[in-house]
Chains A and B, each alone.
Chain A
C-alpha cells in the first residue's frame, strides 16, 4: 500500500504545532497501525530527521497507552479496538491518513502525538480504589457477590483508561471513564463502603481538572475500545445524587 500521512508535529508543550506530510510506500496491509508508524520512524531516523513521538506500550490492546486520533476518530476507523490493534487493511491503497493527538484541556500535548493523561491518575487518586488492610488475603467467598453484579462490575473494570471517550466527546467529557471506575466498585459489596465519598470526590476532581460536561451524545460509548456502556454514566449519576442527597 502507498499512503500519504499528515501527522501533527509539535516540538514540546509550549510550541505551536503543525501538520507535516509524509509519503510511505509498500506498506503491508497486514501491518498494524503502530508498525506502520515504526516504519515511518525508521525512515526518518535514516534521514537524520526527528522521529514521530507517539504513546504505545503493550501493543495488545490492554494497556491503554494508544492515543491517536486517526481521520476524525479516536483509535481510527475500526470499532472496539485500540490503535495498536488497528490494521492497515482497514485503509485503501492511496489513502491520506490524518493523525492528531487527543485534544482536551486536561490532556496537554507533550510532544507530537503524545499527550499527558495524568489527569486520569488524579481522578483515580480521589477514590478509584478500595481501602483494605495489608496482610493475608481473605477467603474470597466470605463476601458473596451476585453473578449479575460481578459481570457488570467486570464489564466496567474493562476500561483501560486510554481516554478515547474524552477524545471523541465534543465536550471533552470524562464521564464514561469516571463512571466505569465508579461502577466497578459501586457494584461490589467491598466497594459500597466508600461509595459515597468515592463518587463525590472523583466527580469533583473531574470537574476541577477542566473536563467538559456530558450532553449525552454517546460518542464516548461509540469509540470506546472496550465497549464500556453508557449505562455506567447513568449509574454514576444515581450514585452521585444519592451521595449528595444523604
Chain B
C-alpha cells in the first residue's frame, strides 16, 4: 500500500509536469508532443502497465484493508471517539473513494478516447488532439469547478498519505520526522495548486 502510494505520488509529479504544458500559448504543441511521447514510447508503455497495476492494487488493497478494519470492531462505541488524531487521517478511505470517482471521470475524458472507446470531435487521422479536448473541458465552468474540488480532495488524501507511507515503510527517526511531515504537507499543497492553475488559466486568464 505504502510503496504503491509513493509510486503514484511520483507519477503525479510527472503528470503535473505534462499538464503544465497546457499553459504555453503554442496551440498545444508541447502538450500534444508530451501526450504523443507518453502514448508511443515503449519504455513509457511498460511503465503504463506498471502504473495501472499500481492504481488497481492500491485501490483493491485499500478496500480490503478497510473491510477488515470495519470487521475488527463489530460493536461500535456509542460515544464518538475524541482521541487526538490528525483530522484527514480518519477519512482516507472516503477521500480515496472520491479520488477514484475522479479517476474514472478522468479516464473517460482522456484515456478511453485514446483507446477509441469514447468518441470525441477532436480526433483527426486517428490521433486525438488532447490539447483541444482538455481546453474544451476546462472552458466549461461546471467541469472546472468539479475538477478543482476533486483536486483539493486529492490534496487532502496526499497530505496524510505521504508521511503515513514512510511510517509504514519503517522510516521514523527524530532527525527526519519533521522533514517528512513538512515535505508531505508542502507536496500536498503544491501538487493540487499546480493542477488547479490550469482550469483557472483557461477560465479567467487566457
A-B contact count (CB 8 A): 104
Provide the residues of chain B in CB contact with A238, threshold 8 Å.
170
- Which residue of A69, A216, A231 contacts B168 across the interface (Cβ within 8 Å)? A216
Does any Cβ of B come within 8 Å of A168's Cβ?
yes
Name the residue of chain B whose CB is nearest to the CB of A242: B170
| Number of A residues, CB within 8 Å of B | 39
- A59 an interface residue at 8 Å Cβ cutoff? no
* A70 to chain B: closest residue by CB: B79
Is B171 at the interface (CB under 8 A from chain A)?
A: yes
Contact A217 B71 (CB under 8 A): no
Which one, A106, A171, A216, A218, contacts B69 given CB within 8 A?
A171
Q: Which of A106, A213, A241 has most B Cβ within 10 Å? A: A213
Is B206 part of the contact surface with A, judged by Cβ < 8 Å?
no
CB < 8 Å neighbour of A230 from B82, B83, B172: B172
Partner of B81, one of A73, A104, A211, A218: A73
Known: A100-B78, A218-B85, A222-B84. A212 touches B164 (CB 8 A): no
Chain A CB within 8 A of B126 CB: no
CB pair A103 B76 closer than 8 Å: yes
CB 8 Å contact bits of B99-139 with A (1 = contact, 0 = none): 00000000000000000000000000000000000000000
The answer to whether A168 and B81 have CB atoms under 8 Å apart is yes
In B119-173, the 8 Å CB interface with A consists of 160, 163-164, 167-173
Interchain nearest-CB distance for A210 vs B (Å): 6
**Chain A residues whose CB sits within 8 angstroms of the CB of B76 once the complex forms:** 103
A1-39 near B? 1/0 per residue, CB < 8 Å = 000000010000000000100000000000000000000
B residues less than 8 Å from A171 (CB atoms) = 69, 72-73
B24 in contact (CB, < 8 A): no
Chain B minimum-CB-distance residue to A109:
B75
Q: Could you tell me if A73 and B82 are in contact, using CB atoms closer than 8 angstroms?
A: yes
- Check B73 against A168 for contact (C-beta < 8 Å): no
Contact B79 A72 (CB under 8 A): yes
- Closest B residue to A233 by CB, please name it: B167
Q: Is A63 an interface residue (CB 8 A)?
A: no
* Cβ distance A100 to chain B, nearest Cβ, rounded Å: 6
Question: Does A71 count as interface, using CB distance less than 8 angstroms?
Answer: yes
Q: Which of B78, B82, B167, B171 contacts A19 (CB 8 A)?
A: B78
Contacts of B163 in A (CB 8 A): 216
Please classify the interface of chain B as helix (H, G, I), strand (E, B), loop, or mixed, using the class held by over half of its residues. loop
B70-94 interface mask toward A, CB cutoff 8 Å, 1 = contact, 0 = none?
0111111111111111100110100
Closest to B177 in A: A231
Number of interface residues of B (CB under 8 A): 33
User: Main SS of chain A's interface residues?
Assistant: mixed
In the assembled complex, which residues on chain A have CB atoms less than 8 Å from the CB atom of B168? 214, 216, 237
A215 to chain B: which residues have CB within 8 Å?
Answer: 65, 69, 89, 92, 164
Contact A72 B84 (CB under 8 A): no
A161 to B78, CA, bound (A): 24
Q: A19-B78, A216-B167, A219-B84 are in contact. Are A172 and B69 (CB under 8 A)?
A: yes
In the complex the two chains form, what is the Cα distance from A191 to B92 in whole Å?
36
A61 neighbours in B (Cβ, 8 Å): none
Whether the pair A72, B92 counts as a contact (CB closer than 8 A) is no
- B68 in the interface (beta carbon within 8 A): yes
A56 to B191, CA, bound (A): 51
Q: Once bound together, how far apart are the Cα atoms of A72 and B167, in whole Å?
A: 26
Query: Would you list which residues of chain B between 1 and 43 have a CB under 8 Å from chain A?
Result: none
Give A77's nearest chain B residue, CB to CB.
Answer: B82
Instruction: Verify if A74 is at the interface (C-beta below 8 Å from B).
Output: yes
* 4 tightest Cβ-Cβ pairs between the two chains A and B: A234-B172, A238-B170, A212-B72, A171-B69
